[in-house]
Chain A
């Protein structure tokens, strides 16, 4: 204890501990009083996890999603820290709600504690502002679109709506200043405000003490009074441990918290706000036109106004709930209304196939974006540029622009190309019906008759043609047999020696990437369709790398089933 004495003489920590821990709790310890301590714990947890997230977060429109994906998928336990922070926010909203209900039930808003009630209401507002600003920071689809709705609502404020919106989003549109402003609010302004309010709240709480059970008389209360340590502290710690265990459980169970695909202003997205804004979200569905705006701004104002007015409405001496049932009924009505709206909102979503399908698509998109980000990093152009890194992304873009118009879809005007192209099944179907609707049917090419060989001979020819693509799973025995069948049945028109030109396309290495690439460049070359060709030559439009990328992509189709 020598060190303790040394320290105490210099700091007076024992007196401070005594002040902090031996505060009398009127009427003795109770689980009804734990919510404040749980909130204090959660506040500390949010500060610590928030600082850790800030060490790896980049508040810029091009970097934000990438840095959050990096935290989520690449930093050691980053998913855990981020999950705790997100679920911690939810926990704070829930526990703050319980704290509010408990203090209201005990009449803690009555004189002389009205000021502390109002400070508490202000802190609840700050919590919601935290949630709103934090939701945008990952710059993912959900956060981006949901927050746009929120700032849009702010923009409908009478008189100065547009100015308020521009102030909030840092300009005329969403962009870098939106993120830097939201970030500054979320990590500097709001924490400073909340901690200051918390200190005031605690100071006033210590001044007036806990609001004790209303059903006990003065002398009974005094008889049961105990110091905060250890009785109340034990109950507080049990509650903290229970809430923390629940948060860790939820975090581990969900692998943290979801991160959607990067914000994409060009994609439609069915965004949902954080669950604690669901009541408002749902309420807005029931109103249209001017009423919608009135509800969006009016509902929060009415609820907040009721909470603020409560100490002024209920000024009676008695803290017995029976004598205050009207005021408490108001609170209960609000709570039931919010819960009901939330429940209806989630129920509607769960029963709406458009919504559930949209969610599945969004999840798949998020997985794709995050996998690419993990493999290659996000290009400096921004989050949505990850998709360009996908193998075949360039080829697919070329395909859509230059090829799909004729080769894909119900109205294709050239042989259909899709999954299974140049597979054995495709070759078989073609050989049996070269002028079929899916092959040369839509074109003027009619030179080829259906192949008449059957059975093992047909299989052998198919294998031979298939082998030309460069596939590795070729049966060489069949190929050898196929060659003799080919000589007898096909070679009159089709050369197969790579260079030769004949009445019909040369089939040597047909379907191999370099042949496809040459074909795309010059389908009218005598080695291919020659004068019969109807397809445009892409020699000028696509450079060598693009043609090769497209050819590789076409080759990849071969591995998929032909239907």
Chain B
């Protein structure tokens, strides 16, 4: 084979190289664009529904008269979780407390990074990063940037109804998500 050219003429070779890369690139782009868009589906989409109506959490009489906080489970009637619809789904917890003749509520989620807070008899404490909050929800110490998130409460026929809102974690300003 020494007397024959081992490679095709340079221009032909160049054409084949460019054409191969162009064709391969076109296939890649036509493929990549829809696949990336598919992956980005969840961004900005309400995949899991949030309860949009006030939720009945307990009887008014169950909230201690002495102002001690009471933890209640927030159970939504129905939840749409991507492809499934479920009945009676626990979506979180809240703390109820009497404040004079009113009932007030704070979310059971720490405003720092969303751990479930507890009450030690004196103050609310987050077990994860040791944020502490006064019984009225004000921030006392720790990494949390704001106090506990208040939730709107209504008393209807002797039952406590609350609207379960969620807020952006770890920012000083409260913004609903």
Contacts and interface: CB of A to CB of B under 8 A. Distances in A.
A360 interface: no
A67 to B, nearest CB: 5
Interface in B34-69: 34-35, 37-41
B20 A66 contact: no
B27 interface: yes
A69 B41 contact: no
Given A78-B38, A230-B13, A244-B31, A67 B85 contact: no
Contact of A81 (B7, B35, B81, B85): B35
Contacts of A241: 23-24, 26-27
A238 B85 CA distance: 47
Contacts of A45: 31
Interface residues of B, number: 30
Interface in A220-240: 222-223, 225-227, 229-231, 233-234, 237-238, 240
Interface string A378-390: 1110000000010
A241 B23 CA distance: 7
A386 to B, nearest CB: 9
A474 interface: no
A376 interface: yes
A132 interface: no
Nearest to A81: B38
B83 A77 contact: no
Interface in B1-31: 1, 4, 7-8, 13, 16-17, 19-20, 23-24, 26-27, 30-31
A77 B37 contact: yes
Interface residues of A, number: 42
Contacts of A66: 83-84
Given A230-B16, A237-B23, A244-B30, A378 B37 contact: no
A80 B38 contact: yes
A81 B34 contact: yes
B40 A76 contact: yes
A225 B7 CA distance: 9
A69 to B, nearest CB: 7
B80 interface: yes
Contacts of B17: 229-230
Interface of A: 45, 48-49, 52, 55-56, 58, 63, 66-67, 69-70, 74-78, 80-81, 222-223, 225-227, 229-231, 233-234, 237-238, 240-241, 244, 248, 373, 376-380, 389
Interface of B: 1, 4, 7-8, 13, 16-17, 19-20, 23-24, 26-27, 30-31, 34-35, 37-41, 80-87
Given A229-B17, A237-B23, A379-B86, 12 more contacts: A45-B31, A52-B39, A76-B41, A77-B38, A78-B38, A78-B41, A81-B35, A238-B23, A241-B27, A377-B80, A378-B84, A380-B87
Q: Which 3 A-B pairs have the closest CB atoms?
A: A377-B85, A70-B83, A66-B83
